[in-house]
Structure formats: structure tokens, C-alpha cells
Chain A
Amino acid sequence: MSSWIPLWLHKLGSPPTFYRFAGKLRPWMLALAIVLGLVALYGGLVLAPPDYQQGDDYRIIFVHVPSAWMGLFIYGVMAVSAFIALVWRIKLAEVVAMESAPIGAAFTLITLVTGSLWGVRMWGTWWTWDARLTSELVLLFLYLGVIGLYHAFEDRRQGARAAAFLALIGIINVPIVHFSVNWWNTLHQGSTVRLFGPSTMTDSMIWPLLTMMVATKCYYVFSLCSRVRADLLALEGGKDWVRQIAAGESAR
């Protein structure tokens, strides 16, 4: 037994403890996400001045860029917990990896749709094979593959392990795809437009962006908590602690 891992971390790995812990954390994260999100929206939509080149259109950035960051960040979280799930076979890590995938896919979808809405005026078309947009599309397919493989198995835990393996293959693939798509884009002289240089962003634009980034992180923790809780109830249906919860909720 490794002694350097503190005891509370071991305890947190057990489903009933994590269920209670997630239940306590969930409302706080939601509140934080809503408050920070509203502040960021106010800052981004009202306080920030219109861009001198793009006018008010650039305001899509305040949802587009945080969503794009979250798409990648959640893939990283998923891959790390997939690794833990495969090496140490911890049930909680499997659940965290598999329940992260739909949230990541949701953020990637938001990125694609908002990017396309932005692109209508930037490029004059809904879709263009820009390097970043294409990478994002491939990321969405990676998420869908993981989700699809997970649900193709009848045994949930086996499905989780297979999908975790796929997530690890995917994380090796992400930089390769990004590199190759960049190379392809320069080869074909695509219509890459620099959306914003480092100097054109003023402080009044940056702080709502960073606030929104923190808000989406909080939202992710909230959503992950509720998803993991629901999944643990389904996985541990026969255990006593789940029966107590089921009995307790019917009394109310």
C-alpha cells in the first residue's frame, strides 16, 4: 500500500463517500458558475467596448473561446482518469472518465456552432476548413467515438474500460491531428484569418473572458458531480447505501 497517498483520498475513492461529497460540492459550484457567468456576460456584453475592426460581432468570443478551452481541458481530464481507471482499476475513475465525455462533447459542439456563427461574417460562409475549426470537428468525433463505444457494450464496466483505452489512443492522436491539419492548411493556402492579435485585446475584453473561463470550469465540476452521482446510483443499484437513498426519497 502506498503510504504517501493521504487517507482521505482513499476514502474519496469509495462510491458512497464520493456520492455525499459530490452532493455537497454540487450546489456551490452551480452558484459560483452562475454568479461568475453573469458577471462575465455583463462585462462582455455591456462594459467591453466594440472592437474597432469587427464591431459588436466579436462578442461571440466570450462564449466561443472558453468553450474551446473546455473542450480540450475536459479531454485531458478524461484521458487522465482513463489512465487511472486502466492502471489501478478504480471504479470511480472509470465513472469520471465516461461521464466527462458528454460534457466535453457539449462544449465542443458549442464551440463549433458559435465558431460557425462568427465565421459567417469573418469568412462570409458558415463553414470553412480552417485548421482550428477542423481540429475541433475531429475532437468532436473523438468524443462521439468514446461515447459510442461505451454504450455499445452490454457490461458497463467493460465498456468503460474499452472506451477509456480509446480515449488514451485519442489523446496521442490530438497533437498529430493538429499538426497534420496545420500542415494541410498551409499546403492548400486556406483562408486562415487571424482572429485577434495579441495587442488588439484590451483589459476590458480580457477580464470577462477569464471570468467566463473560470465559470465554465465551475460548471464542469457541477455537471460532473451530478452525472457521477446518477451513474453511481445506477452502477451500485444492489448496494445498501443506494437502497437507503431510494427508500429515503420515496418517503419525501
Chain B
Amino acid sequence: MSQAPLGRACAAVLRRDLTLAWRRRGDIAMPVLYALIVTTLFPFALGPENALLQRIAGGAVLVTVLLAMLLALDGMFRSDIEDGSLEQLVLAPQPLALMLGMKILAHWLTTALPLIVIAPMLASMLQLPAAAMPVMMLALALATPMLSLLGAVLVALTAGTRRSGMLLALMLLPLCVPVVIFAAGALAAAQQGLPWIAPIAWLGAALALALVLAPLACAAALRIALDA
């Protein structure tokens, strides 16, 4: 049996996941809709004063995006576990970490990217000043892959269990505390006109580390959770 070259295997996994996501377009819209609903509720709960909304806008958008991602995280490997294709992937000759990395990339493209695209709209609904907008996009662009990578490790760990929704949130919270702190910190600094490079740089460093380590950890976790 000849082994498919690595590049083609990666592309095949990515294409398969994107095709599957495209066939269920309604699921892609769900997190976006959820983020929109949550953002709409904030002014109703806090009152419509612009000054107050402006102060909380950055943090509110970040937390909303995080929760919307958490909503979609649960389904990252579910259909693959149900139809057994994840076990095939584990048995495949290609390195599992790389294949999982591709799956995480596909998941990020289908859930986080739409959220990043509508984030400016959500932020302007909450009166975030236009000057802080680029920093918010940068923070989101660095924070959402982090969350996808960290979330994937935890989803892999819960792969062998039946109920995982609330448990996943409980497990993710301690891991995403630093991400939220630095992303929101950069945003708050930008809003106050302070230098915001340092927290963004920390986020970038953490993302570089997670890009290398998380797929490996994800593969190890999946091996633990799948073999009985």
C-alpha cells in the first residue's frame, strides 16, 4: 500500500472538513446569530448610555465571541466519532497531530472567522471608538486560534464521554483566563490611548507556542480517550 504524500493528506482532510461544514451551512450561522443576540441584550440590561457601553464594549465583544466559540466547540469531533472516521484518522500512517491540526484549522475557519468578520459590527453596536477597532481585530485574530487550539485538546479529552457540554466549559475556563486577560488588556489600553503592543506580543508568543504544542497534546489526548 502506498502512502499518500503529507501535503496531499493535509489538503484532503482540510477539504473534507470544509465540504462537510459547507453542506451544513445553517450550523455556521448559529454562533454568529448567538453573538448577535448576546450583544443586543447588553444595552437592554445596562441601559443605552453611550459612555457606559463604550467602556464595556471591548470586553463584552471578547466574552461574546468566546461564548459563541464555546457553543460550537462541542461539535468539533462529534460527527467524526459517531461515524468512526476519527478512528480511521488515528490509524492512518500520517502523523495524527498534523491531521488534527488541519481539522482544528477547518474548525477555526468555519466558526471563528465568521465571528471575526462580524466583530466590528458588534463592537460598533456597543459604540467602541473606531480608533480601537484595529487593535480589537488583531486581538481577536490572535485570541480565537488560541481558543480553538486549547478547546480542541479538551474536546479530544472528552471524546470518550457521553455528556460533555457543561464539562467542556468548566475545563476551558481556567485555560482561557490568560487569553481573555491579555486580549481585553490590549483593547482597554488602546481605548485609553496607552501602548498596547506588550499584551498583543504576549498573545502572539502564546499562540506560537500553542500552534506547536496543542496539536501534539490533542493527538495524545485523543489516544487516551479513544483506546479503552
Binding site for B on A (CB under 8 A): 86, 138-139, 141-142, 144-145, 148-149, 152-153, 155, 158, 161-162, 165-166, 169-170, 173, 176-177, 179-181, 183-184, 187
Q: Are A162 and B221 in contact (CB under 8 A)?
A: yes
Q: Are B170 and A176 in contact (CB under 8 A)?
A: no
Beyond A165-B220, A169-B217, A177-B177: 13 further Cβ-contacts under 8 Å?
A139-B174, A141-B170, A145-B173, A149-B167, A152-B162, A152-B167, A153-B161, A158-B225, A161-B224, A166-B154, A169-B175, A180-B177, A183-B182
Q: Are A180 and B181 in contact (CB under 8 A)?
A: yes
CB<8 Å pairs between A and B, sample of 26: A86-B224, A138-B173, A141-B170, A141-B174, A142-B174, A144-B170, A149-B157, A149-B171, A152-B161, A152-B167, A153-B160, A153-B161, A155-B228, A158-B227, A158-B228, A162-B221, A166-B171, A170-B174, A176-B178, A177-B178, A179-B178, A180-B177, A180-B178, A180-B182, A184-B185, A187-B189
Q: Are A165 and B221 in contact (CB under 8 A)?
A: yes
Q: Are B167 and A148 in contact (CB under 8 A)?
A: yes
Query: Which residue, A138, A177, A184, has most C-beta atoms of chain B within 10 A?
Result: A184
Q: Are B160 and A162 in contact (CB under 8 A)?
A: yes
Q: Are B163 and A152 in contact (CB under 8 A)?
A: yes
Residue-wise interface mask of B (152-176) relative to A, using a CB-CB cutoff of 8 A (1 in contact, 0 not):
0110011011111001001101110
* Separation of A180 and B228 alpha carbons in the complex (Å): 37
* Separation of A175 and B148 alpha carbons in the complex (Å): 21
* Separation of A206 and B178 alpha carbons in the complex (Å): 34
* Separation of A86 and B177 alpha carbons in the complex (Å): 26
* Separation of A193 and B167 alpha carbons in the complex (Å): 35
Q: Does B188 contact A (CB under 8 A)?
A: yes
Interface residues of B in 79-137 (CB under 8 A from A): none
User: Given the complex, which residues of B lie within 8 Å of A183, measured CB to CB?
Assistant: 181-182, 185, 199
Q: Are B177 and A165 in contact (CB under 8 A)?
A: no
Binding site for A on B (CB under 8 A): 153-154, 157-158, 160-164, 167, 170-171, 173-175, 177-178, 181-182, 185, 188-189, 199, 217, 220-221, 224-225, 227-228
Q: Are B160 and A158 in contact (CB under 8 A)?
A: yes
**Nearest Cβ on chain A to B123's Cβ, whole angstroms:** 20
User: Given the complex, which residues of A lie within 8 Å of B228, measured CB to CB?
Assistant: 155, 158
Main secondary structure of the interface of A (DSSP, over half): helix
Q: Are A181 and B177 in contact (CB under 8 A)?
A: yes
User: Given the complex, which residues of A lie within 8 Å of B177, measured CB to CB?
Assistant: 138, 177, 180-181
User: Given the complex, which residues of B lie within 8 Å of A162, measured CB to CB?
Assistant: 157-158, 160, 221, 224-225
**Nearest Cβ on chain A to B88's Cβ, whole angstroms:** 20
**Nearest Cβ on chain B to A109's Cβ, whole angstroms:** 15
* Separation of A149 and B188 alpha carbons in the complex (Å): 35
User: Given the complex, which residues of B lie within 8 Å of A187, measured CB to CB?
Assistant: 185, 188-189
* Separation of A155 and B225 alpha carbons in the complex (Å): 10
Nearest neighbor of A188 in chain B, beta-carbon distance: B188
* Separation of A148 and B178 alpha carbons in the complex (Å): 22
User: Given the complex, which residues of B lie within 8 Å of A148, measured CB to CB?
Assistant: 167, 170-171
**Nearest Cβ on chain A to B177's Cβ, whole angstroms:** 5
**Nearest Cβ on chain A to B175's Cβ, whole angstroms:** 6
**Nearest Cβ on chain B to A163's Cβ, whole angstroms:** 8
* Separation of A138 and B180 alpha carbons in the complex (Å): 13
Query: Which residue, A86, A138, A155, A180, has most C-beta atoms of chain B within 10 A?
Result: A180
* Separation of A139 and B177 alpha carbons in the complex (Å): 11
Contact among A153, A177, A179 for B174, CB-based, below 8 A: A177
User: Given the complex, which residues of A lie within 8 Å of B224, measured CB to CB?
Assistant: 86, 158, 161-162, 165
